[in-house]
C-alpha cells in the first residue's frame, strides 16, 4: 500500500462559524482571520494505492459552480485536484474508487465536472462510496444544511449507476475500514487505514484541523454539537491509547500529527507528512 496527499487548493470560511462558541481572541491565534473575518482552510484529500486499486478519499469543491457561489468562499491556491493527481503520476481516469466522507460541497464537489451543459463524473471508471443514511439525509436536506448539499454534486453519481453504499462492517479494501459519526452531519464516514504498522484516521469534519483538537472546539456548522463533543472525547481517548496518526482535511498547514495527553487534554504531538511514513 502507498499513500499520497492530494491538495486541491484552499478556500475561506468564517472563523466564528468554524470555532463555534470559542472566542475570537483565542481562535484568531490558531488561524488568523482577514478583514472580513474569514480564515483560510485547506481541502486536502488522500489517495490510497493498493494493488490495482486507486482509492481517493474526498475530492474538494471542484470548479463548476457559479462565480457568485465562489465569491462566498474565495477558492484559491496553485494546486488543483487534477494537478495534484498528475504530480503523483495519476489521472482522474485511473481512480477506481472515490470514497466520500460526506456530501457537503467542499468534500464532494470535485466528484462531478461540467462540460458545457452536461454534468459528468470526474472519475468515469470509479465506484463512488456513500451510505444509505447519509445519502437520504443529503438528497432530502434540512434547512440548516441545504446550502451545503448541492444536487449537482450528488445526483449524477446515482444517475450514472456508479453509487455504492457502505455499511459499518464493510472494508473498502483489506486494511481500510470505516468509523461512522453523527455530530457534524448524519452518518459521516472516517476511513481508518492500517499502513506500515501505524493507524491513520482521515478526520474529515470531526476534527477538521489541529486547532480543533480541544473537545469543546466544535464548529457551528455541526448539526449536533454536543454529539460531536462526545464523539471527539471517545475517539481521542482511543487515538492516544493506540498511537493513531490523525490526517487533517482542512488544516491549512498541518497535514497530520500524532497525539499526546496533557493536563489540558489531548493535544498535538509530532507533526507528520505522509511522505515521511
Per-residue pLDDT tens digits for 83-133: 999 999 999 999 999 999 999 999 999 999 999 889 999 999 999 999 999
pLDDT at 168 over 90: no
Domain containing residue 159: CATH number: 3.60.15.10
With a pLDDT cut of 90, the percent of the chain lying above it is 95
Q: How many domains does the chain have?
A: 1
pLDDT of 139: 97
C-alpha cell at 200: 491513520
Q: What is the maximum span of the chain, computed from C-alpha positions, in angstroms?
A: 56
The range of the structural domain enclosing residue 109 comes to 2-276
pLDDT at 146 over 90: yes
Taking the chain, what is the end-to-end CA distance rounded to the nearest angstrom?
11
pLDDT tier for residue 169 given thresholds of 50, 70 and 90: confident
Reported as a single tens digit per residue, the pLDDT across 54-80 is 999 999 999 999 999 999 999 999 999
pLDDT of 167: 86
What average pLDDT does the structure give for the chain? 96
pTM score above 0.85: yes
pLDDT tier for residue 170 given thresholds of 50, 70 and 90: confident
CA distances to 99, 138, 257 from 48, rounded to whole Å, are 10, 26, 18
The contacts found for 113-121 with CB under 8 angstroms, 24 or more apart, are 113/62, 113/63, 113/64, 114/64, 119/64, 119/152, 119/156, 120/156, 121/156, 121/157, 121/160, 121/162
SS3 275: helix
Amino acid at each position: 500500500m502507498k499513500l499520497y496527499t492530494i491538495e486541491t487548493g484552499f478556500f475561506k470560511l468564517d472563523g466564528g462559524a468554524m470555532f463555534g462558541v470559542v472566542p475570537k481572541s483565542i481562535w484568531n491565534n490558531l488561524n488568523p482571520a482577514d478583514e472580513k473575518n474569514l480564515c483560510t482552510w485547506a481541502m486536502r484529500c488522500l489517495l490510497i494505492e493498493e494493488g490495482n486499486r486507486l482509492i481517493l478519499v474526498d475530492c474538494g469543491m471542484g470548479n463548476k459552480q457559479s462565480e457568485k457561489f465562489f465569491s462566498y468562499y474565495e477558492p484559491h491556491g496553485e494546486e488543483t485536484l487534477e494537478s495534484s493527481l498528475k504530480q503523483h503520476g495519476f489521472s482522474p481516469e485511473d481512480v477506481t474508487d472515490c470514497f466520500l466522507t460526506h456530501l457537503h460541497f467542499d468534500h464532494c464537489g470535485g466528484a462531478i465536472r461540467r462540460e458545457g451543459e452536461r454534468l459528468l463524473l470526474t472519475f468515469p471508471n470509479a465506484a463512488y462510496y456513500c451510505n444509505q443514511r447519509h445519502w437520504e439525509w443529503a438528497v432530502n436536506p434540512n434547512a440548516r444544511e441545504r446550502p451545503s448539499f448541492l444536487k449537482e454534486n450528488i445526483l449524477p453519481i446515482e444517475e450514472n449507476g456508479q453509487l455504492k453504499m457502505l455499511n459499518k462492517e464493510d472494508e473498502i479494501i483489506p486494511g481500510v475500514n470505516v468509523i461512522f459519526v453523527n455530530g457534524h452531519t448524519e452518518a459521516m464516514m472516517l476511513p481508518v487505514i492500517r499502513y506500515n504498522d501505524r493507524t491513520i484516521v482521515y478526520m474529515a469534519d470531526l476534527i477538521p484541523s489541529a486547532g480543533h483538537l480541544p473537545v469543546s472546539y466544535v464548529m457551528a456548522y455541526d448539526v449536533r454539537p454536543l454529539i460531536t463533543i462526545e464523539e471527539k472525547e471517545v475517539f481521542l481517548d482511543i487515538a492516544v491509547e493506540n498511537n493513531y496518526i490523525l490526517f487533517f482535511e482542512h488544516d491549512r498547514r498541518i497535514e497530520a500529527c500524532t497525539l499526546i495527553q496533557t493536563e489540558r487534554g489531548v493535544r498535538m504531538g509530532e507533526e507528520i507528512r505522509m511522505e515521511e511514513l
